[in-house]
Chain A
Amino acid sequence: MRFRRVSLGVLLLATISIAVLSVPSAVWAQQNNAASAISTAQSKLVQCYDAATAAESEGANISSLTSRLNSAGLLLSNAELAYSNGDFASAQSLAVQSQSELASFVSDANSMQASAAQSRTSSFLLNVVGSIVGVVAVIVAAFVVWGFLKRKYGNDAGVQKSESDAV
């Protein structure tokens, strides 16, 4: 009987100890998860920012990209605030939302970059090559016109001839 009481006591003590110890452990795990989600969201934001900058450098209009970055940035700001307030569940949720906001962002930015690069090449061909061809055409045309004028009006510069002189 006494052994049973002692056993029950030990069992109860062990249960309470596990319960008490598991609470900080669960909180710690939640905190760890939130910190990890925030860190991933921060890395993702930087990665997307780099992709947007690359697209911009090719001449793409990145207003739609910066708008998405700002939405994700706001969610990340709120996730960091929730984390500092000890609300780890909200922090994790907001950090995950921030990452979701940027899903397919890099591929979109890369596609915009490629499109901008293509447009840039076409524009280069049209402007630079077109201009060079145009300039050559203008110079050639000028020579042709000058030659035509020379043939028609002669090249006796500075002399006004009159038939009466010849007679």
Chain B
Amino acid sequence: MMLECKKVNLTQFKALFVLVTAILALLVASPALQRVLVYPQTESLTELSLLGPGQTAANYPYNITSGENYTVFLGIANQLGSCAYYNIEVKFRNETQSAPNAFNFTPSTIPSLYNLNVFVANGERLDIPVNFAFDYSFQTVTQTVTTSVAVSGGPVEQITENAPVLQANFNSLTFNGETLNLQGYTSNLNPQTDVFYGNLIFELWIYNSTIGGFQYNERFVDLIFNMTSAGQE
């Protein structure tokens, strides 16, 4: 009787058996591995953004009319790894006043008009609607103006004279329903661009518990305005 009884070669399946066991063990261990394997956070930063009225990066107000309301959205996204306490310093300046420097990471030296206290949890983003309106008027003032005059065949001469200059005088800025005093803020007509320059700045400061105060977070966003559209006399 040629009865053949084949015995299975288990060694051939040993590797496969070990592999299947290892995969099963890894699957079962995955919840624990998830806790043990903490991936390092690659970026630790705060995003500061400014969006237009439709919450898109478009249609930013530029031509400003006195007394008219405008809306933008200030966005703060916290990627620092823990809850953060921010202070947004709202500043307004004309063309000649100090501006924050994006290269030297320094804030503007002009005093802030309003400080907004903001808290954002880690990994969250806060969009703050900002409604604002300027109250200003125009007047002609006499100022000392220095002009360069090129005389034909001769050197360029600097002539200093008193001349009438059109100036925008700011009274107030209504910011989210709060009236901020802009008395003493002025903006002269720029003869090259023919605009009355206005610059609304939002500087980001962050609370440092070690020093117990706020530090400039080297970030700012701003809006540049043309204040020529309204009530020009």
Contacts and interface: CB of A to CB of B under 8 A. Distances in A.
Interface of A: 45-46, 49-50, 52-53, 56-57, 62-63, 66, 69-70, 72-74, 76-78, 80-81, 85, 124, 126-128, 130-132, 134-135, 137-139, 142, 145-146, 149-150, 153-164, 167
Give the interface residue-count category, chain B. Answer: 35 or more
Contacts of A50: 209
B3 A164 contact: yes
A163 B207 contact: no
Contact of A81 (B1, B17, B21, B180): B180
A56 B82 contact: yes
Interface string B39-73: 00000000000000000000000000000000000
B119 interface: yes
Interface stretch (B22-30, B130-138, B189-197, B216-224): B22-30
Contacts of A72: 117
B24 A138 contact: yes
A70 B212 CA distance: 19
Given A49-B207, A53-B82, A154 B32 contact: no
A164 B35 CA distance: 59
A52 B122 contact: no
Given A128-B35, A131-B30, A131-B32, A163 B4 contact: yes
24 contacts: A46-B209, A50-B209, A66-B120, A69-B119, A73-B116, A73-B119, A77-B114, A78-B178, A81-B178, A131-B29, A131-B30, A135-B25, A137-B28, A139-B21, A146-B17, A153-B7, A153-B8, A154-B10, A156-B7, A157-B9, A158-B11, A160-B7, A160-B9, A163-B2
